[in-house]
Structure 1
Amino acid sequence: MSVSTRTARSAVAVAALVAALGFSALAPAGADPIVGNPDVPVGDTAMGSQIAKHEGLAPDRARNLTDPAPTDPQIMASVAGIDVSGHQGNVNWQAQWNAGKRFAYVKATEGTGYKNPYFAQQYNGSYNIGMVRGSYHFALPDRSSGAAQANYFVNNGGGWSKDGKTLPGALDIEYNPYGATCYGLSQQAMVNWILDFSNTYKARTGRYPMIYTSTSWWSTCTGNRGDFSNTNPLWVARYASSVGALPHAWRFYTIWQYSETPIDQNTFNGAYDRLVAMANG
């Protein structure tokens, strides 16, 4: 058999194996293929983008300054902050500081196939300007286990240190940007996945992660099974003038994402010294 014939047959065999495994040859290197839809690789899903899409804001709505400011009396003793992802690119942290922002969360990872290319500028830049900062992970529970994604997160910027300026990592769990709302998981399986992520993160860092979600998604996809309120701080998303009902069992929120204009706007439910206390564990 000639070398060219062996090469051709090897190529066919590899292609067949790729097809049998359900992977797309067109997917970028390092991307996790979608279960049942292998041509769609992991992208950069911004925190809250799917909540905005499913719960009242059009996904292509231009960002502007017309959203109502929150009027909930709880935020009178609060700290203003933002969250960013790769969509924001290099952030002007001095401008955000001048606007009164004192904490920031930065997207680090998604699934086990995406890392924010602007992470260093955003994570270090917010810290260097004086903000208390943390990082978040966008969960894709249909791709791999909670433990696998927690480890990927910690290994790529999601760690924690007791320096008074670093918040515990956050698990962003919301509507699936690539398919079925609840990622094809039963309600109990979803609870188990979140628990797996949470316990693994705790084992790696000594802290439980904050959980970012919306009340509607949580109710639909967990069926209000399980109680994370005694371990995991709540970061709730609701784009309105009041925070409204909280997800199952949480009696109060730690952070409220109340608007996505002109960049995601958040308020910490407490005074600045409480924010620092949370950073210190």
Structure 2
Amino acid sequence: MPVHRSGPVRPRHLAVALALSAALLAGLSLPAGAAPARGSAYMGIGVLAHDGQEAAPTAPSLAAQTEGVDVSGYQGDVAWSTLWSNGVKWAYTKATEGTYYTNPYFAQQYNGSYSVGMIRGAYHFATPDTTSGATQADYFVDHGGGWSKDGRTLPGVLDIEWNPYGASCYGKSTAAMVSWIADFLSRYRSRTGRDAVIYTATSWWTSCTGSYAGFASANPLWIARYASDAGTLPAGWSYYTMWQYTSSGPTVGDHDVFNGALDRVVALANG
């Protein structure tokens, strides 16, 4: 798996994602070798191809916001002190994907962000076509996705979005997708005592869950949209907790804002 250790742009995997997504949207078969390798997905892999153009990498103007980043194996060893000095106060690291992948840079990324003073958490890239939601929740918790009430650890994130390896909705009906997500969330809560954050994009959620609104009361929303505003939110949520607003920010590409001041980030960490 190629690793881009610095710079905001990830041209190779972005090009692959765009080509893959375009083929899927057109209903075409992928050419031999076009699909990325299992384990190579990351938060926001389909956003540019499905949800419009990239915004200028400038933090949105909100009354109270706290800058964050999300990272995966693509970033390799992250310059956490640089991010911290530039105002980044929280971070999420990809821990797992399916039940077949763990991020080889997880320790440096997860512990490194904590060491410079950030509030940190872990995310799981869901593959609903490979194993059950509960099985993947267990894999996630067992490989870095747990939670501790230390005031510095955020609840785990279910990254549920376009399938980079095949059909966008993983071959599931809307009812089956909702059931899979519920299975994951239920097991995660039983293992950790926390409700997981849901990371998704409105267009994917509308298409693949049938605009299901039943998770909004318990699960914080992390919305993906690279534009000047977060746009229409998925069904059920009246506000977002986090917003991934660009994939071309400084030091690492994926930058986010928390919808509140730093004390609200701490509150989410504390449950």
TM range (shorter): 0.7 to 0.9
Deviates further, 225-234 or 112-121: 225-234
Structure-2 separation of matches of 1:71 and 1:165 = 24
Following TM superposition, by how much is the alpha carbon of 1:53 offset from its aligned partner in structure 2, in angstroms? Answer: 2.5
Residue 153 of structure 1 corresponds to which residue in structure 2?
A: 140
Which residue in 2 is equivalent to 1:69?
A: 58
Cα distance 1:254–1:179, how it changes in 2: closer, same or farther (>3 A)?
A: same
Q: Which one has a bigger Cα radius of gyration?
A: 1
**Coordinate RMSD, CA, aligned:** 1.7
Q: Distance in 2 between matches of 1:218 and 1:48?
A: 13
Distance 1:251 1:42, change over 3 A: same
Once residues 265 and 40 of structure 1 are traced to their aligned partners in structure 2, the CA distance between those partners, rounded to angstroms, is 23
Q: Helix, strand or coil for the counterpart of 1:80?
A: strand
Q: Is the 8 A contact 1:104 1:126 kept in 2?
A: yes
Q: What's 1:42 paired with?
A: 38
The worse-fitting range, judged by mean Cα deviation, of 257-266 and 208-217 is 257-266
Quick one: which of 256, 267, 277 aligns to 2:243?
Answer: 256
Identity %: 57
2:217 to 213, 230, 233: 230
Number of residue-to-residue matches in the alignment = 235
d(CA) in 2 for partners of 1:110, 1:226: 25
Structure 1, gaps ≥5 residues long = 1-36, 59-65
Deviation at 1:43, TM superposition (A): 2.1
Corresponding position: 1:56 with 2:46: no
Q: Does the CA contact (< 8 Å) of 1:237 and 1:258 recur in 2? A: yes
Give the conservation status (yes or no) of the 8 Å contact 2:113–2:119. yes
Question: TM-score, normalising length from structure 2?
Answer: 0.83
SS in 1 for 2:145: coil
Map of 2:256 onto structure 1: 266
Measured against aligned partners, the alpha-carbon deviations of 1:81-137 in whole angstroms (never above 9, x if no partner) come to 000000000001000001100000000000000000000000000000000000000
The 8 Å contact of residues 82 and 266 in structure 1, kept in 2 or not, is answered as: yes
SS of the counterpart of 2:46? helix
Q: CA deviation at 1:40?
A: 7.3
Name the aligned partner's letter for residue 69 of structure 1: T
> Counterparts of 1:71 and 1:156 in 2: how far apart (Å)?
33
- Moved >3 Å (runs of 4+): none
Q: CA deviation at 1:247?
A: 0.3
Alpha-carbon separation, structure 1, partners of 2:56 and 2:73: 23
Written as runs of structure 1 = structure 2, the 5 A alignment for 1:148-187 is 148-187=135-174
- Establish whether residue 115 from structure 1 lines up as the match of residue 102 from structure 2: yes
Distance 2:196 2:180 in 1: 14
Give the Å deviation of 1:57: 4.8
Which has the higher relative contact order, 1 or 2, with Cα contacts under 8 A spaced 6 or more apart?
A: 2
- AA partner of residue 192 (structure 2): T
- Could you tell me which runs of 5 or more consecutive residues in structure 2 were left unpaired when the two chains were aligned: 1-31
Contact 2:47/2:226 (<8 A) preserved: no
Alpha-carbon shift at residue 56 of structure 1 (Å): 2.5
Contact 1:123 1:135 in 2 (8 A): yes
